[in-house]
Amino acid sequence: MPIRHGLISAVRLMLRKGKAHMMPRKDRASRLALFALLLGQCMTAMDVAMVNVSLPSIREDLNINIAAAGWVMIIFFLLTTSFMISLGRLGDISGHKKVFATGLLFFMGGSLASGLSPGYYLLLGGRALQGIGAGMISSNLPALMTAVFPEEERGKALGLAAATISLGLAAGPFLGGLISGTVGWRYLFFIAPLLLPASIILCYRFVPENRAAEAEAMDIYGAGLILFFFAPATLAMTQGRIWGWTSPATTGLLIISMAAAWLFVRHERTAAHPVIELRLFSNPDFTLSNLAYFACFICLQTVLFATPFFLQYFLEMTPQAIGVVIGTINILAFLLLVPSGILSDRMGTMRLETAGMAFICLSLALLAFAGSSLTLLLVLVSLILLGMGYGVFCSPNYSAVLGSVMESRRGVAGGVYSTMRNIGSLTGTAMASSVLGQWAVDAASLREAGGSYTSPAFTAAVRHAYLAALLVACVGLLLLVVKYLRDRKKPGPLAKRQTV
Is a pLDDT exceeding 50 seen at residue 284? Answer: yes
**Residue 394: its pLDDT value, please?**
86
Query: Do 143 and 170 belong together in one domain?
Result: yes
What size, in residues, is the chain?
Answer: 500
Query: Do 50 and 98 belong together in one domain?
Result: yes
Is a pLDDT exceeding 70 seen at residue 243? Answer: yes
**Residue 277: its pLDDT value, please?**
78
**Residue 31: its pLDDT value, please?**
81
Q: How far, in Å, are 7, 78, 145, 363 from residue 142 at the CA level?
A: 13, 21, 5, 33
Query: Do 172 and 255 belong together in one domain?
Result: no
> For the chain, how many helices (H) and strands (E)?
16, 0
Is pLDDT larger for residue 437 or for residue 207? Answer: 207
Query: Do 122 and 207 belong together in one domain?
Result: yes
Other CB atoms within 10 Å distance of the CB of residue 499 = 12
**Residue 288: its pLDDT value, please?**
92
245 phi and psi angles, rounded to 5 deg: -70, -20
Would you place residue 281 in the very low, low, confident or very high pLDDT band (cuts 50, 70, 90)?
confident
Query: Do 102 and 44 belong together in one domain?
Result: yes
**Residue 4: its pLDDT value, please?**
43
Is a pLDDT exceeding 70 seen at residue 380? Answer: yes
Region 17-39: mean pLDDT is 67
Nearest to 335 by CA among 89, 184, 170, 210: 170
On whether the pTM is more than 0.85, the answer is no
Domain boundary among 193, 219, 245: 219
Query: Do 246 and 289 belong together in one domain?
Result: no
Q: How far, in Å, are 55, 141, 235, 338 from residue 426 at the CA level?
A: 15, 22, 12, 26
Residue 170 near residue 73 (C-beta atoms within 8 A): no
Give the integer Cα–Cα distance in Å for 236 and 232: 6
Domain boundary among 236, 255, 270: 270
Instruction: Residue 26: give its domain's CATH number.
Output: 1.20.1250.20
Would you place residue 23 in the very low, low, confident or very high pLDDT band (cuts 50, 70, 90)?
very low
CA 340 to chain centre: 20
Nearest to 443 by CA among 51, 50, 52, 67: 67
**Residue 378: its pLDDT value, please?**
92
Would you place residue 5 in the very low, low, confident or very high pLDDT band (cuts 50, 70, 90)?
very low
Which of 283-292, 332-341, 356-365 shows the lowest mean pLDDT across its residues? 332-341
Is pLDDT larger for residue 67 or for residue 99? Answer: 99
Query: Do 259 and 174 belong together in one domain?
Result: no
Would you place residue 483 in the very low, low, confident or very high pLDDT band (cuts 50, 70, 90)?
confident
Query: Do 206 and 226 belong together in one domain?
Result: no
Percent of the chain with pLDDT over 70: 83
Query: Do 98 and 176 belong together in one domain?
Result: yes
Is a pLDDT exceeding 80 seen at residue 494? Answer: no
Averaging pLDDT over each range in 5-14, 133-142, 259-268, 357-366, which range is the top one?
Answer: 357-366
Query: Do 361 and 214 belong together in one domain?
Result: no
Region 54-67: mean pLDDT is 89
pLDDT of 146-180, one tens digit each? Answer: 777 776 666 566 667 777 887 888 899 999 999 99
List the domain range (segments joined by +) for residue 144. Answer: 1-219
Q: How far, in Å, are 284, 304, 400, 490, 492 from residue 485 at the CA level?
A: 12, 32, 15, 9, 15
Would you place residue 53 in the very low, low, confident or very high pLDDT band (cuts 50, 70, 90)?
very high
Give, rounded to a whole angstrom, the gap between the first and last alpha carbons of the chain.
17
What's the alpha-carbon Rg for the chain, to the nearest Å? 22
**Residue 291: its pLDDT value, please?**
94
Query: Do 346 and 459 belong together in one domain?
Result: yes
**Residue 21: its pLDDT value, please?**
43
**Residue 453: its pLDDT value, please?**
57
Would you place residue 455 in the very low, low, confident or very high pLDDT band (cuts 50, 70, 90)?
low
Query: Do 261 and 304 belong together in one domain?
Result: no
Would you place residue 452 in the very low, low, confident or very high pLDDT band (cuts 50, 70, 90)?
low
- The total number of structural domains in the chain stands at 3
Would you place residue 489 in the very low, low, confident or very high pLDDT band (cuts 50, 70, 90)?
low
Is pLDDT larger for residue 210 or for residue 73? Answer: 73
Query: Mean pLDDT score of the chain, rounded to an integer?
Result: 82
Is pLDDT larger for residue 346 or for residue 125? Answer: 125
**Residue 121: its pLDDT value, please?**
94
Region 208-218: mean pLDDT is 65
Which of 186-200, 216-230, 395-409, 444-458 shows the lowest mean pLDDT across its residues? 444-458
